Amino acid sequence: MEVSNNSRVKELILFGFPTAPHLQILLFALFLIACILVIAENTIIILTVWTNYNLHVPMYFFLSNLSFLEIWYVTVTLPKTMLIDFLSQDKHISFQGCMTQLYFFVTFVCTEYILLAVMAYDRFLAICNPLRYPLIMNQRFCVQLTAGCWMCGLITSSIKLTFIGQLWFCNVDKINHYFCDISPLLNISCSDSSLAELVDFILALMVIMVPLCAVVTSYICIMFTVLKIPSSQGRKKAFSTCSSHLIVVVLFYSTTLFTYAHPKVMYTYSANKLVSVLYTVVVPLVNPLIYCLRNKEVRFALRKTFTCTRNI
């Protein structure tokens, strides 16, 4: 991650959610509970997958990686820029700290887009090409796909930060957001940010639209394959293996697409902070619940894990 020394600003101020003091305490309590639940839920998912041999299959390997990603989502955004700032009048964050937070956050967002597409491809192979599925989706290939997701996220984030790091940030040091995101930073730059905006927009479209096209194509093929299954029970079983993932995809893509489809204009409105809360807090909070409530194998593995724990 390269950050230029052009910035004259040493610290930035995050507006967050300015409200009355008693509401700040209430918001602190709500987001603290949400943060604890997200970390606990996703940690349980990871441990359940790792400790149950029957879940050692590609679908749950990717699910545990998704849970790992979502733990980092809340870790990189909530502790400093929301929980501490709710109880403190000092809402400053160093410029380097802001750039670091932005780098990791963009990495996680981009990685999740691609990982969700990989999970859709996994379901496509399992349903549309079941005979070759074990041969194609072997352990080595799964690890390579996951590593590729992280590599794409890291490279995309590095390119974006390189262009943002070339900008000047002079007198305006107030960001109308609760964490350091790209568009709020572009809005306060005192130099020409058109190139950085263009690069950000092109990369955002690539990272969003290419995986989205892969997801849509996979599920169109899955739908036609499922409709050809003669028995209703067989169709229901086939669709149940990918319904949880489809719900997660809709939740994540709908919220992030709303924010990043128009990276600069949309962030001029405070309402977009609420949309950001959806994909940084709410989506990581409900995703484990979706997989647990709609997946019999995960529910059974959770009961087995907790039963063994109590017996110990």
Task: Find out whether 106 and 182 touch, Cβ atoms under 8 Å.
Answer: yes
Model pLDDT, residue 148 = 95
What pLDDT score does 235 carry? 76
pLDDT given for residue 137 in this prediction: 93
Instruction: Give a yes or no: residue 274 inside a domain.
Output: yes
In a domain, 3, yes or no: no
187 domain-assigned: yes
Q: Residue 85 half-sphere exposure, CB side, CA atoms within 13 Å?
A: 20
pLDDT of res. 294: 67
SS3 for 59-92 is HHHHHHHHHHHHHHHHHHHHHHHHHHHHHCCCCE
Question: What's the pLDDT at 69?
Answer: 92
Tell me the whole-structure pTM to 2 decimals.
Answer: 0.87
Please state the domain count of the chain: 1
CA separation for the pair 71, 272 (Å, rounded): 22
Residues 6+ apart with CB under 8 A from 271: none
- pLDDT number for residue 308: 55
What is the β-pairing status of strands 11-14 and 92-94? Answer: antiparallel
Asked whether residue 6 is domain-assigned, the answer is no
Distance CA 148, CA 118 (A): 10
Per-residue pLDDT of the chain (312 residues; tens, 9 = 90+): 545 444 456 777 777 776 666 777 888 888 888 888 999 989 988 888 888 888 888 988 998 999 999 898 888 887 766 666 666 666 777 888 888 888 999 999 999 999 999 999 999 998 888 889 999 999 999 999 999 999 999 999 999 999 988 888 776 567 777 788 888 888 878 888 888 888 988 898 889 889 999 999 999 998 888 888 787 777 777 777 777 888 888 888 887 777 766 545 444 456 677 777 888 888 888 888 887 766 777 777 767 666 655 544
pLDDT of residue 263: 47
Res 253: pLDDT = 86
Q: Give the CATH number for residue 167.
A: 1.20.1070.10
Is 2 inside any structural domain?
no
Which secondary structure element, helix H or strand E, spans residue 213, and what is its range?
A: helix 194-227
Count of alpha carbons within 13 Å of 52, Cβ hemisphere only?
25
Distance of CA 218 to CAs 166, 213, 245, 290, 295, Å?
A: 39, 8, 12, 21, 20
Helical segments of 79-193, H only? 85-87, 95-128, 133-136, 139-164, 182-188
- Region class of 16: left (phi > 0), else alpha (psi between -120 and 50), else beta: left
Q: What is the pLDDT of residue 85?
A: 66
Which three-class secondary structure state does DSSP give residue 174?
Answer: strand
One DSSP character per residue, 238-252 reads HHHHHHHHHHHHHHH
Range of the domain at 218: 11-311
Is position 15 within any domain?
yes
